[in-house]
Amino acid sequence: MKRLLIILATVMAITSCKEKNTLLSEWDTPYGIPPFEQIKMDEYIPAIKEGIQEHQKEIQAIIDNPAAPDFNNTVAALELSGLKLAKVNGVLGNLSSTERDDAMTKVDEEADALLTAHYDDIYMNKALFERVKAVYDKDQSGLTREQQMVLKKLYQSFTRNGVNLPEDQQQQLKEINQKLTDAQQKFSKNLLAQSNAFKEQFGIPVSSYSDEMTSCTDRERRKEMFLAYSNRGNNNDEFDNKAICLEILKLKAKKAKLLGFNNFAEYQLENKMAHDPATVDAFLDKIIAPAIKRAKEEIYDMQQIMNQDIKAGLLPAGSKIEPWDWFYYAERVRKAKFDLDENLTRPYFMMQNVRKGIFEAANMVYGIKVEPIADAPKYNPEVEVFKVSDADGSLLGIFMTDYFPRSTKRGGAWMNNIRDQYIDANGKEIRPIIVNVGNMTPPTDSLPALFTIDQVETVFHEFGHALHGLLTKCTYPSVSGTSVARDFVETFSQFNENWGFQPEILAKYAKHYKTGEVIPDSLVTKINNSAKFNQGFMTTELTAASILDMKWHELTEEQLQNVNVEEFEKKVCKEMGLIDEIIPRYRTTYFNHIFNSGYSAGYYGYLWAEVLEKDAFEYFKQNGIYNKEIAEKFRKTFLERGGSEEPMVLYEMFRGAQPDPGALLRSRGLE
């Protein structure tokens, strides 16, 4: 009896513990938004562990199913497994990049290690793979196209994660994956520390670097800022990333070799649109030469302005344009050529108005409506929450914005899924929760948040990702929304940038923060006339970073043994013909995209996708950019279908032809 009472007490204690864990309970909140304010830091790891345990049981049930493997009892069952874990990880994944204090860093590191081991166990499980393979090897004609794509993606997840390796090599791969997780965490931690140190040194966040470099008249200060910015992670101090970068690269190369590839770029590109490194290299080679040629013309124009400063005695004789001069003198050239001054445009781009602009554009093009949700749960007071509805009033999803820099937030701008879209086991459609995160100019004591033209483009860009996630109408989570090939996903974010400066849309949102006056037509004309300005620089730095990424990941494990990070980077830049006045958009030691953000051997995807989106927008322009029929076709072909079809098949369905590679060069004025 006493033993029974002890067992009952233990069970009740465990049950009570589970009930108290906010992450594991049912959320009685508007639209199932996570109750962020109620979640305690010590709840994450128990919730992750509980989610893993439940997922393991679901996996074992699939393996133990006595029925012959078919799509429903194996593939669909796998798709709908691990939902509790996904629920917890959706919250943690967002906060680990936006609220990364010491406590969150510790939680995230432990969670990452647990999750890495968990998913390794799944995708190296031979018994589970045998069931998937049995379905894959059958006649698939009875499956929908979406089901065929889900099955293909799942099969590749197993083969690309070592299921066919012998047990000893699987163990090696697991060790590599854990070491990669640890190294990537360290890279991210170092970069955040360096970015915060930059702010302490100069009084501005890293996200305001280009703004400050554009307006700063003190050349020595510009030089100091440039050197500090471009050497983040490269100062031979406790936050130096050179050794971590090499460790990550070596581990990736070793992983690729173990899986039968010559280098990590080959492994990474196998299931992308480009498919192989040679295709990417040839693609980038065609862009870098005309970009540098235009950049040299831009240097000439800037030098003429600098020469005026030399004559005025503001600079020593013989001064030449240096990397720390580019933003400043480019802005002066823009003022001279186009009479465009961002001090005149920014008052029309108050954050709240720009956000209204992305909503107005989506309404004009796709018919959707966005409205604020009062008193919605938030993970930070700066976050704002919105309900997104279709034209018929049906719910499309929940959208959050988090636009301003914090010391706990990593740099850049991005879109997160807190909850994916899919159809659950009961046939109920689960609509997504999407977040747009940024590091735009914050408000001050005297001014509201007023955005630059580039920041306006960034807001439209990230909302393009959000639309991809919000408008999706798939059955299975692995192909819904932005779950597409990495070199396809930026198509829709970049496509959405095209609407930001259309006169009809500007008239709806670009209003002076003081007077409410709509931006004058004369200023709109100047903005659009200058759209191709400085594209030599912008295309060169982007392409240079893409080439640097590829060259790092084309190295074999053996070639990486005696590499010096700085020397290799210099060699790559010299071979591509990069001029001294420009550095890659991201140098190696702060290239977060490729060392901790999923774009390894994939940063070229921005340019690759730009070919698609510029060609698509030319199609819009040929048929009227507000053509409802074309917009509906774009929505149904791309935004609703996610990864449920091969990217080029979808593109040809929409366009009626393959994309014209010249569309990118035309759009940037580089032909």
Neighbour count for residue 223 (Cβ, 10 Å):
14
- Are 451 and 112 spatial neighbours (Cβ–Cβ below 8 Å)? no
- Written as one letter, the residue type at 340 is L
Backbone angles phi and psi of 610, in degrees to 5: -65, -35
What distance lies between CA 30 and its chain's CA centroid? 27
Nearest CA to 212 out of 330, 334, 327 is that of 327
Complete DSSP assignment for 472-532: ---SSGGGSTT-S-HHHHHHHHHHHHTTTT-HHHHHHH-B-TTT-PBPPHHHHHHHHHTTT
For residue 392, give the DSSP letter: T
Extended beta strands in 407-450, E state: 414-419, 422-423, 429-430, 433-437
Two tokens, residue 205: 């966040």
395-402, strands of its sheet edge to edge? 369-372, 384-389, 395-402, 433-437, 414-419
Taking CA 413 as the corner, what is the angle to CA 87 and CA 488, rounded to the nearest 5 degrees?
80
Cα 530 to Cα 540: distance, rounded to the nearest angstrom: 18
Complete DSSP assignment for 560-599: TTT--HHHHHHHHHHHTT--TT---SS-GGG-HHHHHSS-
- Between helix 486-497 and helix 453-470 the angle, nearest 10°, is 120
- Are 84 and 54 spatial neighbours (Cβ–Cβ below 8 Å)? yes
Query: Is residue 462 annotated as a catalytic residue, yes or no?
Result: yes
Sequence-distant (6+) residues with CB within 8 A of 489 are 465, 468, 482, 605, 609
3-state secondary structure of 77: helix
Task: Please tell me which residue in 50, 462, 497, 557 is annotated as part of the active site.
Answer: 462
Taking CA 169 as the corner, what is the angle to CA 79 and CA 49, rounded to the nearest 5 degrees?
45
Please list the active-site residues: 462
